[in-house]
Structure 1
């Protein structure tokens, strides 16, 4: 998927998100308005094509990159997403829900391994993600890897994610600024079947609650700080282009950039 491609190119995926109508629920809903049909990264000779079900829920995303072609398939039961599969990696994700129809658990697995990743979510009273516990499940049992806590500012925008491991080591993600309001479908930028860079931010329950896109994000780990910035071209809520960059705070001259263009059905 495209976040894995980004990781190979610039170690992150702050190249954000295409337009489709967005909902506050954590269940994929019917989209209205223009549907994204394609994203192109011409400098990287890569593209992503989007197919939809009759109710405009995501059916497939087909990624064509120098690293190969991957078709990501989405399956639903009673209008709820239940399974995402990757044809190239032969990995899958299973979605479970709480009594409020919010995503409560995501489990990632591979046919090549007995190990699984499990992600358990809790929510605030306003329906935003409050915490995320990331576990590794293997033959030795269930092990907590990170416990992530989410903080919101006075306007209820996500501002900080603090992830703490069993040794009390922390990784902090700071969302320093946002774009103007935009509608978007988060799926191409979600870690769908793999644990990828900055999963704490780029997962479906978190992205589906946003009405603006993170413009500047700082990732603070012991010993260094990474900066991720994106310039957006947005017209009438529709995202048309992104120009994203990634660099270390102590080495701003060594900056890697990537440009993406977005295409719609009307």
Structure 2
């Protein structure tokens, strides 16, 4: 039984952390993504690698996530995933910026899904550099019951007018977990992922897919979007042949990731003012 009234007491709870955006972090993210290291402006969504929650190993749960409670509400459902989110970009991050992340719980809601109750926690983040707002972020986290993943559902994803293959190999997932200080075992521990969680392979991070798509939008348009939003629909795995795709729809870009022959895994939209 989930006590929603108790969980909603976390609404308004806040947390802050700070980190300098070092040239070394920029170089490590670009190396992970097989990109040249830029001069000046940092890559889009590098802020997801900055000032992550720091939890002692002894306080991690069996899946590698921090144990329940603390900043996030203690939802009594075993599986936690990043369901989607949105970014509004006000100013670019630059090498050596002092970056502060201010986080606030906006909402906690309970819904009924195919496998049982789903609890959604919405977190707002403000990313500031030297006191000036750089990025506003909405993060949607979903908690769900433990269940064996079923087959992928949905029609095969279309091929976009813009189409590229991306590398979701195990070593890339391991490096991205290290960059984001993400201990969730489904991204690097194959025995746990297959034998305990029931997935056919290591799971590609939602933030990594969002990074692929947001940077793809920037390359297509020749400039960074003013706003980017996304939603996870289906998992991708390290054995997949993964593509990123995009189509112009008016002045907006519709984007998506997919495995070869599989449904859309993440869909996104990029907007320019």
Per the TM superposition, whether the score is higher than 0.5 is: no
Structure with the larger helix share: 2
TM-score normalised by the chain length of structure 2: 0.28
More strand by share: 1
